[in-house]
Structure 1
Amino acid sequence: MKGMANDRPANLTARPVCFPFTGDVVGGSHFSVLGLVENLDPSRYVPVIVPQFPDGAVAKLFRDHGIRTETPMHWTELPYDRNVSPWKIAQVAKDIPSQIRYLRSRRYPVVHTNDGRTHATWALAARLSGARLLWHQRGDPGALGLRLAAPLLANQVVAVSQFASPRPGLWSAARKAQVVHSAFATDVQEDRASARTQLIHELGCDPRTVFIGFFGAFIPRKRPKLFMDAIAELAGRDLPRPVMGLMFGEAYDGGRTERELKDHGRQRGMGNIVRQMGFRTPGPHWLAACDMLLVSAYGEPFGRTLIEAMLVGTPVVATASGGNIEALCEGATGILVPPEDAAALANGAQALIKRPETAQALASAAMASAKSRFGDRSHAERIMAVYDEMLRIPLPNAADRSGPSSPSIKPLGLKSEATS
């Protein structure tokens, strides 16, 4: 099949790690994995990315960075951020034998899954193949997959935050879980003045305008309408400078959500104070172009753009929810406000607009904090330590890769999770 590489890793002493990806929506999990695989020690572990679509956006992201990819088979694509039907679950079950054959043929000792759709489509095959499964939990801690499947199928669970970690219980993956915050390129540098000038020229607006950014997929967890309401609230106040909300991102439902957001803006009489900017890369450049990041999300496990904003010196106002609380220290590296409250978000933004010296102090402290806590090299070392730990634990029948390696397990009905 197109995109498949038939050679084994050149370094025969290194152990290959399979990173499958279901779907073709590029999100935070993909960039996190990219940061990880670029920092793995090649004498110890060799990453192989297995994207569902050999010519898709996910495959291109990794190939453009010189990372090996191969797509050995067709398998079922689950819907993005929607419930999975029984019919889809039946289709997933039919894919398992071919996935097992592939994993055994490559003799993968480790399979590393990174999002809800991939957990649902590859976790069972990984365990039945005899490989160790690292379940990287980047989504909702209440997801059925984490609660019901991970305790049975995962050898180890790595959560991106305490918030995202499995909750303790009689049937829980908590006993084999640990927190490893996501990886970031902490040496990133952006010319903030140049990036801002680029926005001014593109939008043709008053050079004094305060650009307030929303970054992420237009999905319910990100609360895009709440962001718009906060901008409308802010624009109605007595401020020293005009404001504009810029929404960098997109939905994956054929444009329905984008149209709903535009209708919401018209109903609120926002005019041109909120603009949809589309999905753009590189993210840090556009974050640096903004005067502020406003994080309206609720229950965000560990927002990637929040950390990237910290690294490029963009002040952050965020809801006191999910992993935001672990990333920011209120009043020291950012402003945390009550969730689901447009006025509270507007209050936080207003405080930074009226006190630019405070905004600068918070941004400087946040940059130092992010650089010291979220380096990609230390992250890779911690993940390789997890691989090492898993490979020291023998699995039932793992020595016999030609036959069944565990009892038959029926697929569970799962809800696919969006990437962060």
Structure 2
Amino acid sequence: MQQTLFSSNHPIRVLTPFSGDSIGGSYLSAIALIQEANQQRTVNYEIAIHQPGKLEEKLNQLNLPYKSLNLKWITIVDLSKRKKLTLPFEWSITTLKLFRLLKKERYHAVHVHDGRMALTWALPCKLSRTPLIIHQRTKFAKSNITELTYKSSRMIIAITKFVLDSLPATLHSKCVIIDNPVEVPPRDRGTSRKILEDRFGVRNESFLITIIGTHQHQKRQDFAMRIAQTLKERNIETTFFFMGKYGDNTIEKINKKILKKKIDDICIVAGHVESYDYLPGCDLLLAPAVDEGFGRSLIEAITYNVPVLASASGGHLEILQSDAEDSLFKPDDIDDCLRKIYKHIEGKAKFPKIKDYSNERHCASVIEETLRVTTR
């Protein structure tokens, strides 16, 4: 149920708007920041959502207050539709309403967590002289309008050096690198394995490989299916467990691909489920995605003592740095990936070490930088 924005006597008030239509790893990291910061009571983050959806359900579940704006956001796709004559009118209405909100509430800053929110809030922030903080969590998608938008910001937080390096050099002077926070609820392997057996029929003797992520080319789920196909052909007993946020009819499309490859007897497509219930019971997390900005699921798996095998690409390389030779494979290289999988199945792979990704550490860094740009 929608709640009203909480009032606050805190010296620094920061508005954090979201589209509201989805919730993934990036938004979970943003919510973790908001929860930790508001407990510390140094900076007060207030949430706004543009449209009802999955995020609204999550906020209600966590009992986090928010304001529902019921406004359309701006995307690059919209900007390319020159023939849609109503767009300028819609943008003008959205910009005017957001400008009035910022003037009325007098926030010290607006902190956005994706490109759509950056495009939508850049002009209202400029007009109201409200500092805009952009949290860049993915590889920068180059375009003139996006670069212009980012130039209007007061600060850009990049979650990895890989993400920072993807930004235009003209923006680097206003960038800082702050790792994402990742903390997981307590779970044990035995309970998780029992849930997997009861809900999906996973047998205890099967080597369970999980893939977490949306069904898009960057995530390389088709690559994972080819790995499954090869292992089946070589009579290596494995089960592949796919988890992720999928759009309409996507699960049906994935299952059709699995049927075509004749691996439906060793593949389970769970869809958008709470991964914490299942991940601890898996034997290996396979992360074939290329150019990932971060790699939250890697940290979650390692925290649960689940081995990982990821493509040596993007943010993965910044997470897996110590004792990681058995946890990385050449991107899109099936043979290298299979060699590493065999090592994991045989129990001969080294377990990687990672640094501290706690909410407390992340929050302290973000608050320090936020105070720096809002108290100039």
Distance 1:156 1:137 in 2: 10
The partner residue of 1:285 within 277, 288, 301 is 277
Asked if structure 2 preserves the Cα contact closer than 8 Å seen for 1:265 and 1:271, the reply is yes
SS of residue paired to 2:211: strand
Distance 2:271 2:227 in 1: 20
| Equivalent in the alignment of 2:269 | 276
| Equivalent in the alignment of 1:97 | 96
Distance 2:104 2:307 in 1: 49
Letter matched to residue 164 of structure 1: V
| Equivalent in the alignment of 1:342 | 334
- Report the Cα offset of residue 181 of structure 1: 0.8
| Equivalent in the alignment of 2:232 | 235
Distance 1:336 1:62 in 2: 35
Asked if structure 2 preserves the Cα contact closer than 8 Å seen for 1:135 and 1:150, the reply is no
Q: Does 1:62 align with 2:59?
A: yes
| Equivalent in the alignment of 1:405 | none
| Equivalent in the alignment of 1:299 | 291
Which consecutive residues of structure 2, in runs of 5 or more, have no partner in the other structure?
none
Distance 2:160 2:79 in 1: 24
Per-residue displacement from partner, 1:197-231 (whole Å, max 9, x unpaired)? 22123233432011100111112211111111111
Per-residue displacement from partner, 1:152-190 (whole Å, max 9, x unpaired)? 2111100111111155756x211111111101226x421
Distance 2:166 2:200 in 1: 46
Asked if structure 1 preserves the Cα contact closer than 8 Å seen for 2:6 and 2:65, the reply is no
Change (3 A) 1:155 1:31: same
SS of residue paired to 2:187: coil
SS of residue paired to 2:310: strand
Equivalences for 1:12-51 in 2 at 5 Å?
12-40=9-37, 41-51=39-49
| Equivalent in the alignment of 1:135 | 134
Asked if structure 2 preserves the Cα contact closer than 8 Å seen for 1:160 and 1:179, the reply is yes
| Equivalent in the alignment of 1:174 | 172
Q: Does 1:264 align with 2:257?
A: yes
Distance 1:212 1:196 in 2: 13
Which consecutive residues of structure 1, in runs of 5 or more, have no partner in the other structure?
394-420
Of the two structures, which has the highest relative contact order with CA contacts closer than 8 Å and spacing of 6 or more?
1
| Equivalent in the alignment of 2:2 | 3
Q: What RMSD in Å do the two structures reach over aligned CA positions?
A: 2.5
Distance 2:323 2:6 in 1: 53
Task: Give % identity.
Answer: 22
SS of residue paired to 1:381: helix
Change (3 A) 1:206 1:81: farther
Change (3 A) 1:210 1:96: same
- Report the Cα offset of residue 343 of structure 1: 3.1
The partner residue of 1:251 within 233, 237, 246 is 246
Per-residue displacement from partner, 1:102-127 (whole Å, max 9, x unpaired)? 11211111100001221222222223
SS of residue paired to 2:44: strand
Letter matched to residue 381 of structure 1: A
